[in-house]
Amino acid sequence: MADTPASEPARVEILVEARALSKSYGHTRAAREVSFQLARGEILGFLGPNGAGKSTTLKMVTGILQPDAGTASVDGIDILEDPLEARRRFGYLPESLPLYWEMQVEEYLRFIARARGLEPARATARIDTVIDQLDLGRMRRRTTGALSKGFRQRVGIAQALLHDPPVLILDEPTNGLDPQQIVEIRALLRELARERAILFSTHILQEIAAICSRIMVIHQGRKIADGSPDELAAEETESPWRVLAAGGSPLGESARDALRLGEPTGTAERRSYPAGAEVPDLPAIEREVAAVGGRVVSCERARPSLEEVYLRLTGGPATVGATASEGESGA
Amino acid sequence: MSGTLAIYRRELKAYFDTPIAAIFIAILVGLLSYFLFKDSLFFVRERAEMRIFFRQIPAVLMVFAPVITMRLWADEYRVGTAEILGSLPISTRSLVLGKYLAALTVLAAALVCTIGVPISIARLGEPDWGPIIGGYIGSFLLGSFFIALGCWTSSLSENQVISMLIAVLVGVIFTFILTPRLAAVIAGESATLARAVEGLGVTSHFDSIERGVLALRDVSYFLLGTLFFLTLNAFQVESRRV
């Protein structure tokens, strides 16, 4: 697959590879031939509206869901051929944050450590490490059912990290966290990604912009974009130039026509002239603007925001900054 | 193996941390003791034996084994914890086995708690220990059968009550329909069918063990039945991945 960024192919260590994963529920095609690669050090954000097929794809990568076609490998181990060995190579946080509510935090983590076959001494050391990393020290003896959603989420991430896996697969990891917690979890993920590959899903755009080195947009079960945030924005070749001017009166119609500028918008302090896709004649514009008593503040290509890219790709609005946590249909 | 053990320990702790195991044991001991002593037959007959006690076992276990098992899988699917289980490096077989063994342990603990009954009987008279030991072995094997059945039905639904009702329904077929009595009725029509009815039901096998006769045929019936339902359980868990 030629989906990875073209930087130093020899040095890239692919930890996750999905090959044409497909899944249908009845007549609904939840995932259609989704392929991607993920290298060590990368944080890949799965972006898409609710029900786009993000959770389905993640579940197929983990083997929790059997694909109708295609396969995935984690750290070189095929999830269908050797599922148990593959499961040792990743930690997984499900979307709905399911824990055994009657268990205490430390007790729960010890259960996971045992179930993952960690030696008792190593288990104790790792439990201490993840409790420290996720700041769960005060919650050690609390039952998980008595925790706030933010702390439950941290227990879920702790559980995924316990065996120190090279790959983390997180379904909506910051769902339900307050802003302070979100900032902390993002910082933790960035830190963890240095030695790992992290794959996570979200329907929140800021999330992607904040921590991802790569974005994959999923829409109606299909991968419709894959690249760094800058690469995706740069694909917008049609994006027009824009001239910002301050002060003075607006340019007359004949002057604008000569300079190929459109009708200005904004106030006298900040007039914005759309300038089309061709590079504008800046010295001429500066002269004309000065002639009407103003000055040119900037002339730049309007760089599309991630929101604009996303909207163009999916043809629908994203949940921007929402904390909604509706479940994905069919996931 | 470490996976089975981890699951077993967690489930067992869940049973004893919540009142489930305690309530189950209290009901089982109370109910069986009630049948034995309140039913004046025991005193009327003035015989130091536990037949009346063991005669109630199939019906009691048929209803109460699913009470222990109903949450085992249904709750994992309802809460979603099955997703994390599915991401652990534990085979489906180990998961199934760990849960089954935990439920079986609760049942065994309940049977151990009825030990007061034979001790009381021994103080009242000179019991024949063969049928009593046979009765306990039979109860354990029968319990294993119903526990495995309950494990399977628990994996069929996210609703504990539904999974329990299915288990009781299937249990009724094995306990009250596939009986020697029905076999006798249809024996005239088809001897083969009558043998099948008697051989498939739990009653004839339990009765013969409870009489103190530990035949390979009866022991293997319960063990194969257990294996059969646990296999169905594993298939059901696997099919949830699809």
Pairwise CA distance, residues B19 & B25, whole Å: 10
- Residue B77: predicted pLDDT: 94
Closest to A115 (Cβ–Cβ): which among B3, B14, B17? B3
Closest partner CB to B80 (pick from A94, A103, A112)? A94
CA of B163 vs chain A CAs: smallest distance (Å)? 20
Give how far Cα A191 sits from Cα of A1, A123, A172, A177, A203, Å.
Answer: 28, 22, 18, 19, 22
How sure is the predictor about A319, in pLDDT bands with cuts at 50, 70 and 90?
A: very low
The pLDDT of residue B19: 87
Enter the tokens of residue B150.
Answer: 């309950």
Say how far apart CA B102 and CA B181 lie, in whole Å: 34
Cα separation values, B139 from B65, B88, B135, B223, Å: 12, 35, 6, 13
Burial of B208 (0-12, 13-18, 19+ CB in 10 A): middle
Q: pTM of whole model > 0.90? A: no
pLDDT at A311: 75
Nearest-by-CA chain A residue for B3: A115
What are A211-244's pLDDT values in tens digits? 888 889 888 888 888 888 777 766 655 567 788 8
Is B6 within 8 Å of chain A by CB?
A: yes
**A102 touching B (Cβ < 8 Å):** yes
Where residue B106 falls among pLDDT bands split at 50, 70, 90? very high
ipTM for this prediction: 0.88
| pLDDT value of position B188 | 80
B83·A98 Cβ contact <8 A: yes
- CATH number of the structural domain A14-89+165-235: 3.40.50.300
Tell me the sheet residues that pair with A38. Answer: A16
Residue A116 to residue A90: CA distance in whole angstroms: 11
A28, two tokens:
């609904």
SS3 B180: helix
Phi, psi of A28 (to 5 degrees): -85, 125
Q: Which residues of A touch B91 (CB under 8 A)?
A: 84
**A62–B contact, CB cutoff 8 A:** yes
Q: Which residues of A touch B2 (CB under 8 A)?
A: 114-115, 117
B241 contacts on A by Cβ (under 8 Å): 63-66
pLDDT digits (tens, 9 = 90+) for B127-144: 888 888 999 999 999 999
In this prediction, residue A328 carries a pLDDT of 37
Residue B20, chain A, CB below 8 Å: the answer is no
| CA B82 to centroid of chain Cα atoms | 24
Minimum distance, in Å, between the CA of residue A303 and any CA atom of chain B: 41
Angstroms from B104 CA to nearest CA on chain A: 20
Q: What is the pLDDT of residue A236?
A: 55
Query: A324 to chain B, minimum CA–CA distance in Å?
Result: 19
Reply yes or no on whether the pLDDT at A306 is more than 90. Answer: no
Say what angle helices B92-113 and B71-79 make with each other, to 10 degrees. Answer: 130
Region A199-215 average pLDDT: 83
Q: Which residues contact B109 (CB under 8 A, 6 or more apart)?
A: B21, B25
List, for residues A10-47, the tens digit of each pLDDT value: 567 899 999 999 999 888 889 999 999 999 999 999 88
Alpha helices in A134-227 (DSSP H): 149-161, 179-193, 205-211
Chain B residues whose CB is inside 8 A of the A159 CB are: 84
pLDDT tens track for A78-100: 999 999 999 999 999 998 888 99
pLDDT score recorded for residue B92: 95
Closest alpha carbon within chain A to B2: A117
What's the CATH number for A241-301? 3.30.70
pLDDT in tens, B56-104: 889 999 999 999 999 999 999 999 999 999 999 999 999 999 999 999 9
What pLDDT score was predicted for residue B38?
Answer: 67
Q: Does B19 touch chain A (CB under 8 A)?
A: no
**Which residues make Cβ contacts (< 8 Å) with residue A35, sequence separation at least 6?**
A1, A3, A18, A19, A20, A21, A70, A223
Q: Do B10 and A62 touch (CB under 8 A)?
A: no
> Are A63 and B241 inside 8 Å of each other by CB?
yes
pLDDT at A1: 43
Q: Does A252 touch chain B (CB under 8 A)?
A: no
| Confidence band of A331 (pLDDT split at 50, 70, 90) | very low
Task: Answer with the residue of higher pLDDT: B95 or B125.
Answer: B95
Render pLDDT for A123-137 as a digit per residue (tens, 0 to 9): 999 999 999 998 899
Please state, rounded to an integer, the average pLDDT across all residues of chain B.
Answer: 89
Quick: pLDDT tens for B9-68.
Answer: 999 999 998 888 898 899 888 887 887 776 545 555 556 667 777 888 899 999 999 999
User: pLDDT over 70 for what percent of chain B?
Assistant: 95
Q: Token digits for A106?
A: 């430390």
CB contact under 8 A, A114 and B6: yes
User: What is residue A217's predicted lDDT score, i.e. its pLDDT?
Assistant: 87
Query: B172 with B157: CB under 8 angstroms?
Result: no
Domain boundaries, chain B: 2-239
